[in-house]
């Protein structure tokens, strides 16, 4: 019997890179804990999943059902581990399957997935497929995993691959609920947020290339080097300055002050450009990102905006001034060769953890 599963991408509203930065407190307690705020996107990965006796079978299809690629692996720890470490998009599924087999002694799984989420654009497509794989095993074998456990298996599976992701990305497991995350060494706290007013946002795929692995490598290198001006600025931006911005962001989002939320995005982008960009200027100078953010015909429709994820010329995000402005911004971005996606952060009432 098959199940239909959907897992969205992840939009980091504030606090990019603070997850791995806060993780370094395990070896240096002088580092400030990391904080970020994120939410699932409306776009993501859809999949039909069903148990299989002894293989992990992953089919990737277009949204209209046309088969793009297929991978088949024996449910064997050594084979799954090798596939994860070899890299590639299917390696993420293999990494999660490795831990599911190792810790739950499950059988195999067939995953037939379709994606309308941009890849390598800062929206955590890799984390989405990892969480989806964990959720699929949970459904197929009645494991009863919570969202927090799905996140943990997704993270463990992804870091088996060549990816250097932090713990933020798998928050896509929480879907449309915005969350506030804290990172202290290996500890991660999750707080669901409940905005009093909807937030009309637009995400724009800049249709450019970015090298996330280089960004992460360069930033990690400078963050942990012995001395230097770049290190000091980087630690300030991802540490004390980030904490101040995130405490404000949590309060502003909850109160529903969208104008202030947009202004805070502008402030966060200025901080990033001044203190983080110098650690990887080849990728983070991002000319198209900054050109789109500064255009008068964009500015008149938004309260503010900033880069997405690891930043670079991947995606841009905006807080629109309202629903009409969101719709007009989408039309204008098409004309600027930017692929827009709308996102409305809904007004929420609290609910219990599933």
Q: So where are the chain's domains?
A: 3-192, 199-345
Cα–Cα dist 304/288, whole Å: 16
CATH class of segment(s) 199-345: alpha beta
What gap in Å lies between CA 133 and CA 3, rounded to an integer?
Answer: 12
Task: Calculate the alpha carbon distances from 114 to 1, 23, 71, 127, 330 in Å.
Answer: 19, 33, 14, 15, 24
Query: Per the confidence metrics, is the pTM higher than 0.75?
Result: yes
CATH fold label, 3-192: Ribosomal Protein S5; domain 2 (3.30.230)
- CA–CA dist 122, 222 (Å, integer): 21
Contact 107, 54 (CB under 8 A): yes
* Tens digits of pLDDT across the chain (354 residues): 568 899 988 899 999 999 999 999 999 999 999 999 999 888 888 999 999 999 999 988 766 677 778 889 999 999 999 999 998 778 999 999 999 999 999 999 999 988 887 666 667 788 889 999 999 999 999 999 999 899 999 999 998 988 766 677 788 888 888 999 999 998 999 999 999 999 999 999 999 989 988 999 999 999 998 777 899 999 999 999 999 999 999 999 999 999 999 999 999 999 999 999 999 999 999 999 999 999 999 999 999 999 998 999 999 999 999 999 999 999 999 999 999 999 999 987 655 554
> Which of the 8 DSSP states describes residue 348?
-
Strand ranges (E), the chain:
3-14, 34-52, 55-61, 67-74, 108-115, 179-184, 187-192, 199-205, 302-307, 315-320, 339-345
Name the token pair of 14.
């504030």
């Amino acid at each position: 019997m098959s199940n239909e599963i959907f897992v969205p991408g992840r939009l980091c509203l504030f606090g990019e890179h603070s997850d791995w930065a806060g993780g370094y407190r395990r070896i240096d307690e002088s580092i400030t804990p990391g904080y970020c705020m994120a939410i699932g996107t409306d776009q993501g990965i859809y999949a039909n999943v069903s148990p299989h006796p002894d293989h992990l079978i992953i089919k990737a299809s277009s949204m209209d059902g046309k088969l793009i690629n297929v991978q088949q692996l024996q449910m064997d720890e050594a084979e799954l581990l090798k596939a994860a470490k070899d890299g590639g998009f299917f390696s993420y599924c293999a990494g999660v399957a490795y831990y599911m087999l190792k810790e739950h002694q499950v059988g195999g799984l067939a995953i037939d997935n379709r994606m309308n989420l941009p890849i390598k654009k800062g929206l955590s497509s890799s984390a989405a497929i990892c969480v989806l794989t964990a959720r699929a095993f949970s459904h197929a074998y009645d494991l009863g995993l919570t969202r927090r456990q799905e996140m943990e298996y997704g993270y463990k599976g992804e870091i088996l691959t060549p990816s250097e992701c932090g713990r933020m990305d798998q928050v896509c497991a929480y879907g449309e609920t915005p969350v506030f995350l804290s990172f202290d060494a290996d500890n991660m706290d999750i707080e669901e947020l409940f905005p009093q007013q909807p937030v009309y946002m637009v995400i724009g795929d800049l249709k450019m290339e970015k090298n996330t692995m280089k960004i992460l490598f360069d930033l990690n290198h400078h963050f942990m080097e012995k001395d230097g001006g770049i290190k000091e600025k980087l630690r300030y931006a991802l540490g004390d300055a980030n904490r101040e911005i995130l405490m404000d962001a949590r309060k502003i989002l909850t109160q529903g002050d969208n104008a202030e939320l947009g202004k805070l995005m502008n402030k966060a982008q200025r901080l990033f450009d001044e203190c983080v960009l110098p650690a990887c200027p080849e990728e983070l100078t991002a000319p198209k990102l900054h050109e789109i953010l500064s255009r008068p015909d964009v500015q008149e429709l938004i309260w503010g905006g900033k880069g997405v994820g690891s930043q670079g010329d991947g995606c841009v995000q905006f807080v629109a001034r309202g629903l009409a402005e969101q719709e007009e911004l989408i039309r204008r971005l098409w004309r600027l060769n930017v692929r827009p996606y709308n996102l409305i952060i809904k007004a929420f009432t609290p609910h219990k953890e599933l």
